Structure 1
Amino acid sequence: MLDHGTARPARVSASGHADGTDATTLITDLPYGPKAAQVAREAVAVALHDAEADLLDDARLITSELATNAFASGRPPLVLCVDRRSRTAGGLEVEITVTDGGCSNPAPSSTPASEEEAESGRGLVIVEALADAWSLTTGTHGTRAWCRLRRGSDHSPDGTH
């Protein structure tokens, strides 16, 4: 959701869920162009303004990679959704979703350059390394990249639970 008066992401908040969580959701359109990653990073900074530095850094990097992939491989519209849940028992869970209008081009049939020589193509490797869970669903009518990050009492920074 975009606040058209200020061209800034709009926040939709909910609190007091039966499962003991407080939740905030930020939804915004991303520009279909090279600035998609920058706008996505800024939106995540708004959504996670008071989060721990390591969570914010990971979320910004992941979001940048997902937005770049959506622009490079997909069609408009590009949409970012950041769901943030603070648990009363402690901890924070963040889900990041980037969707696009789909990809009509088939995957390239040529063999890509080796990983060491490649100038791109590491985005999902980064997402997999930093996220607690993630998925990618592609199609001609839409692509959805999703991940979850957890921090706090039920998750340690080294990835153990």
Structure 2
Amino acid sequence: MTSHFPHELDDTLSRAFTLSPIPPSIPVARKWVRQMLDRWGLEALRPPVEWLVTELTTNAIKHARTGGATVTVLVMYTAGTLRIEVRDRDPDNLPIRRQSTSEAESGRGLLIVEEYADRWNVRVNERGKTVWCELDMPCVRQAVAQ
């Protein structure tokens, strides 16, 4: 959408994708987010964003399997911040940061989120929960403003 105001920046991009709550949906989510980043000219963010989407989607699928619910992945870029949200319909199983060893097969998800994201949190409502994280990109913000 083009702005009708000549000095206003149109720097907000967002897309959502709904997945079936099955493990084969995880690589589909990675491919989808990779395409969004490429389309938006944010290819440099692929590695951390793919890790974040993988971890958040894996946990959502694990908890969304009851009742045939879906998982929704939202990616939004605005004003130099990339936000990732993953929504499922399980308001009870909230993310918990665990102590984990490097050899463990699970339990490192939130450690990965904390490593790559500048912020993360969870929001719960009557329809389920949303786990979100944000990456600040000051160099991208400067390029968009010029």
Q: Distance in 2 between matches of 1:96 and 1:47?
A: 12
The structure carrying a bigger strand percent of its residues is: 1
Aligned pairs for 1:1-161 within 5 A: 14=1, 16=3, 20-49=9-38, 50-53=41-44, 55-75=45-65, 76-85=69-78, 87=79, 92-103=80-91, 115-116=100-101, 118-138=104-124, 141-153=127-139
Q: Would the alpha carbon gap of residues 131 and 19 (structure 1) be closer, same or farther in structure 2, given more than 3 Å must change?
A: farther
Identity of aligned residues (%): 31
CA RMSD across the alignment: 2.8
Query: Which segments of 5 or more consecutive residues in structure 1 lack a partner in the other structure?
Result: 1-13, 156-161
Q: Give the C-alpha shift of residue 36 in structure 1.
A: 2.4
Q: Is contact 1:102-1:139 (8 Å) kept?
A: no
**What do the CA deviations read for 1:107-147 (whole angstroms, capped 9, x no partner)?**
9xxxx8x6225320111110111101111235674021101
How far off is 1:152 after superposition? 3.5
Checking the alignment, whether the CA contact within 8 Å between 1:47 and 1:84 is kept in structure 2 is no
Q: Which has the higher contact order (CA 8 A, sep 6+)?
A: 2
Runs of at least 4 residues off by over 3 Å: 14-21, 103-107, 137-141
TM-fit CA distance, 1:74? 2.8
Could you say if the C-alpha distance between residues 140 and 102 of structure 1 is closer, same or farther in structure 2, counting changes exceeding 3 Å?
A: farther
* Secondary structure, counterpart of 1:126 in structure 2: helix
Q: What secondary structure does 2:114 align onto?
A: helix
TM-score, normalized by length of structure 2? Answer: 0.74
Q: Which amino acid aligns with 2:16?
A: I
TM-score, normalised on structure 1? 0.68
Deviation at 1:83, TM superposition (A): 0.5
| Alignment CA distance shift 1:21-1:32 (3 Å) | same
Count, aligned residues: 131
Confirm or deny: 8 A CA contact 1:136 1:146 kept in the other structure. Answer: yes
Letter in 1 for 2:139: S
